Amino acid sequence: MQRRDFIGCGSAFIALAMMSNSATGATESPLSSTNRPAIKPITIKNIAIGAGKPRVIVSTTASDSAEVISFVREQATRNEVDIIELRLDLLHNGQDATAMAALTRELYALLPHKLLLATFRTKAEGGQQAIDDAGYAALYQQLLAQGELDLLDIEMYRAPSAVKSLIAQAHQQNVRVILSSHDFQQTPSQREIIARLRQQQMMGGDILKMAAMPHSPGDVIRMMSATWEMRQRYAHRPLLTMSMGGLGAVTRLCGELTGSALTFGMAGNASAPGQIEAARLHDVLTLLHQAAASDA
């Protein structure tokens, strides 16, 4: 870990401590460890999400299925990677439900000890392809019925009836759901970030995700503070939060402190702005985890 990483984390932690009670105008005292909500870790293939250091996700970025298969075969051997995200929207045939279900089966067979996350990130939330609600639902329905996967990312603001149905179908298939919200224009207020995460929890998400674009260090601190408040006061499910871009890189490193149980690393090309190379990310997460453990 380089000195600037420590400085960045340290500065953010100081600001987080100053803002944690004041950012939303809250007057309550912070909850103690005895009365805070209990987050039950999710364990799949002996990978626990929600306990210890954040788990590392890397995403596919290729537009061709053969390249995706080659990438996943390589990542399957890397100790620093826990989860592979298949980005369907980056594939030229990503809306071909039959082909995508077959691809998930092939990738799943390559990952006996890692998790497969399937995501169609819509253009409205920063992805490469637009898709209407009916097409989105049909694609995911076929993935769940005919594919093989461990996790499915569902955008919370798709058609409510489709989201509800997909969550139910995923749970019937023993697939865990990441309910997600992305804002590539700005960082919402702390109150709004928490409201979205709480709504995801009420909707039945297994992992609650919020990503936003910062325009100042204050935006980054607000995301970290919102994560901490959500973790302390409301969360029963693991969280996945981040500020995007280089400015938000600290949020990808410090999840064990703030309460974010997962983080995205980069292998090859980045799938979102601000990602850190997976091996370096893993090293920093391990170092911070060891430092925290020494105080226990």
pLDDT, one tens digit for every residue, the chain (296 residues): 443 444 345 444 444 444 444 444 433 334 444 566 788 899 999 999 998 899 999 999 999 999 999 999 999 999 999 999 999 999 999 999 999 999 999 999 999 999 999 999 999 999 999 999 999 999 999 999 999 999 999 999 999 999 999 999 999 999 999 999 999 999 999 999 999 999 999 999 999 999 999 999 999 999 999 999 999 999 999 999 999 999 999 999 999 999 999 999 988 766 666 678 899 999 999 999 998 888 76
Q: Is 252 assigned a ligand-binding role in the annotation? A: yes
Query: Is residue 209 flagged as an active site residue?
Result: yes
Encode burial over 177-212: b for 16+ CB neighbours within 10 A, e otherwise: bbbbbbbeeebbebebbbebbeebbebbbbbbbbbb
Nearest-angstrom CA–CA distance, 158 and 160: 6
Class of domain 46-294: alpha beta
Q: Is 87 assigned a ligand-binding role in the annotation? A: yes
Burial tier of 156 (Cβ tally within 10 Å: 0-12, 13-18, 19+): buried
Query: Is residue 182 flagged as an active site residue?
Result: yes
Nearest-angstrom CA–CA distance, 42 and 173: 16
The pLDDT, as a whole number, for residue 273 is 62
- Other beta carbons within 10 Å of 28: 7
Q: Is 190 assigned a ligand-binding role in the annotation? A: no
Burial tier of 12 (Cβ tally within 10 Å: 0-12, 13-18, 19+): buried
Nearest-angstrom CA–CA distance, 250 and 9: 6
Annotated catalytic residue: which of 45, 53, 92, 182?
182
Q: Domain ranges in the chain?
A: 46-294
